[in-house]
Homo-oligomer: A and B are copies of this chain.
């Protein structure tokens, strides 16, 4: 394999936090959609394995709202059951009827208690029913206190809201070539002091064993004052690059993955935000360059950033042979 014919002289980075033994740790390192590491944990019981708050924060909005609604219905079914067992006579004002009708009445009484709306048409009489409703109203308020916290936690959670180009390119650059990709903020947030790090993972045979190696890629510009427009990240493929003398087949064989880590300061949240992304070999276009994605709006004296064009590129001939066979 191509990767065995060459020697990569540059120093690999031991600080990535991923395992070096390819037997034990293989495949894509980052999940492309979520940016989280492709690691499964064993040996922790379910209760400890998840931070339920992290889970609640990461849950899609619709699922989160449905979860709340389900919890609301289940809690009320539970309390309705208790009131029903205590006996419908302990709830004054119930319009009695069939079993179903009676259960429906106590269910609605439960909901009116849990939400503290307490119309009062139905009201508890006697120690048992009163005690349960006293506890339910307390539980209701605490539940909504919790929901308040979750809502706030969800929407105040600082996120970078960055879109990445679908492909990375091997593009012409100063008489040679460079690995490039670009990103742009897609919401009305304001990022400053953005900083990007790229770590290139590859599998190399060392002493007859497949090893994972990680290389920090030098970037033309790795810090930017304000991330107002799109930002094209450029890694020049020169002698100091682990991709030097690689061709497309080498990239595929070495199963390279460019691990992207972006850190910035969000000026609305006043907080640091981070985002991860990754490109594997098959997502890298050999010989292409990005088309410009912004232009001036003359009337409005503003710059237009067209996010539809984020991944727009044109195929080009590389000026010099990047990889010698």
Contact = CB atoms under 8 A, between A and B. Distances in A.
Given A15-B221, A157-B270, A108 B95 contact: no
A197 B55 CA distance: 30
Nearest to A297: B40
A205 B276 CA distance: 38
A27 B149 contact: no
Question: In the assembly, how many copies of this chain are there?
Answer: 4
Interface string A250-288: 000000000001000101111111101000000000000
Contact of A308 (B43, B124, B231): B43
Contacts of A74: none
- Interface secondary structure of A, over-half rule: mixed
Given A43-B309, A104-B130, A142-B151, A268 B37 contact: no
A95 B271 CA distance: 54
Contacts of A145: 144, 147-148, 151
Interface band, chain A: 35 or more
Interface stretch (A3-11, A18-26, A173-181, A236-244): A18-26
B296 A24 contact: yes
B296 A27 contact: yes
A123 B115 contact: no
Which of A16, A125, A149 has the most CB atoms of chain B within a 10 A radius of its CB?
Answer: A149
A151 B28 CA distance: 38
A304 interface: yes
Contacts of A120: 118-121, 123
B24 A303 contact: yes
A203 interface: no
A169 interface: no
A2 interface: no
Considering the complex of A and B, which 8 residue pairs feature the smallest CB-CB distances, nearest first? A43-B308, A149-B152, A37-B228, A120-B120, A27-B301, A43-B307, A145-B148, A115-B137
Given A16-B224, A36-B190, A43-B307, 6 more contacts: A17-B227, A19-B294, A24-B295, A41-B305, A148-B149, A153-B155
Interface of A: 13-19, 21, 23-29, 36-44, 48-55, 57-58, 68-69, 72, 76, 92, 95, 104, 108, 111-113, 115-125, 127, 130-131, 133-134, 137-138, 140-142, 144-149, 151-153, 155-159, 161, 186-190, 192, 194, 197, 199, 221, 223-229, 231, 261, 265, 267-274, 276, 292, 294-297, 300-310
